[in-house]
Homo-oligomer: A and B are copies of this chain.
Amino acid sequence: MKVSARNRLKGTVKQLVPGSVNTEVIVEVAPGVEVVSVITKSSAESLALAVGSEVYTVVKSSDVMIAID
Residues of A at the B interface (CB closer than 8 Å) are: 1-9, 17-25, 27, 30, 33, 35-40, 42-44, 46-47, 49, 53-69
Q: Is the CB of B61 within 8 A of A2?
A: no
Once bound together, how far apart are the Cα atoms of A23 and B30, in whole Å? 28
State the main secondary structure of chain A at its contact with B. Answer: strand
Output the least CB separation between A34 and chain B (Å): 8
Q: Contacts A6-B43, A40-B61 given; indicate if A1 touches B67 (C-beta within 8 A).
A: yes
Q: Is the CB of A66 within 8 A of B19?
A: no
Once bound together, how far apart are the Cα atoms of A46 and B67, in whole Å? 11
Interface centre among A23, A55, A58, A65 (most CB of B within 10 A): A65
